[in-house]
Amino acid sequence: MELLFIPTLLIALIIGIIIANVRIVPQANAFVIERLGAYHTTWDTGLHVKVPIIDRVAKRVSLKEAVVDFPPQPVITKDNVTMQIDTVVFYRIVDPKLYTYGVERPMMAIENLTATTLRNIIGDLELDSTLTSRDTINSKITEVLDEATDAWGIKINRVELKNIMPPREIQDSMEKQMKAERERREKILQAEGEKKAAILVAEGEKESAILRADAIKESKIREAEGEAAAILKIQEATAAGIEMINKVKPSQEFISIKALESFEKAADGKATKIIIPSEIQGLAGLATSLTELAKKD
């Protein structure tokens, strides 16, 4: 009975040891394994069993992209302006072995390298260039960090300048400058608006004057056409009357009487000097004699 119990206990012990040394590596993770204190292998995602006592998991490494936000770093520009700049680094571990054995405290190393690189880059730029060259600065820092961290098994995907904080007096000066620029643009827009309004008013007055002139012109044309039409009608009537007279062939006495009637109209007291044609002088004398005889009777 005791002999049967000992193998069973031994088998249970072996199974327990195996289970205790089974490791499951999750997705996007890696385990660095050391054997007798030296690097042995790197476990990828899946089920693994380590040798008891001899093997150990030296480091569990996440292969996901990570983000680290470093505190503001003091930097000095080329024109001797001290400002605070904080950066955000996006990185990913591509070699767990180098990450484990390449550098002590990798994040501190990246932070110090970022600060040093940032000071070198900003030191060659003036304040205005620093404020307007974020993309250029980001690209330069990313390039330098990516090259330096290759030996640490780290891939720097990108670096972003989170905040650029100039001194308080510089910020006040910039705000005043921006305010002055906004006021200048406002005045320019107002002046352009007034100019356009004046142009529209002038164009309106011009069009109104042209319309008035066209109306006066049209009125005068119509008036002249009316007068011409009236004169034409009178001339046509006169011509028609002359034509009728010619058709009936009036006698000389009728013509003389008509001339005398015209003379009477001409001598209605308004004329100061009258010239009597010789053709009607005799007829006028005859008419006078007849009038005197009528009075004697």
Q: Is residue 2 part of a domain?
A: no
> Are 134 and 88 part of one and the same domain?
yes
> Are 278 and 240 part of one and the same domain?
no
Q: Is residue 171 part of a domain?
A: no
pLDDT at 92: 94
Q: Is the pLDDT of residue 196 over 80?
A: yes
Q: Is the pLDDT of residue 296 over 60?
A: no
pLDDT, tens digit, for every residue of 1-42?
455 556 777 777 777 777 878 888 999 999 999 999 899 999
Q: Determine the Cα–Cα distance for residues 280 and 267; give it in Å rounded to an integer.
A: 14
The total number of residues written for the chain in this structure:
297
> Are 241 and 254 part of one and the same domain?
no
Q: Is the pLDDT of residue 160 over 80?
A: yes
pLDDT at 279: 52
What's 117's domain CATH number? 3.30.479.30
pLDDT, tens digit, for every residue of 198-223?
888 888 888 888 888 888 888 888 88
On the CB side of 5, CA atoms within 13 Å amount to 2
> Are 221 and 283 part of one and the same domain?
no
Q: Determine the Cα–Cα distance for residues 281 and 297; give it in Å rounded to an integer.
A: 25
Number of domains present in the structure of the chain: 4
> Are 53 and 94 part of one and the same domain?
no
pLDDT at 128: 82
Model pTM score = 0.56
Q: What is the span of the domain harbouring residue 273?
A: 250-297
> Are 26 and 94 part of one and the same domain?
no
Q: Is residue 93 part of a domain?
A: yes
Higher pLDDT, 287 or 152: 152
Q: Determine the Cα–Cα distance for residues 114 and 118; give it in Å rounded to an integer.
A: 6
pLDDT at 286: 46
pLDDT, tens digit, for every residue of 221-269?
888 888 878 888 787 777 776 677 667 666 565 566 665 565 555 555 5
Average pLDDT over the chain, rounded to whole? Answer: 80
User: What six digits make up the tokens of 118?
Assistant: 């940032």
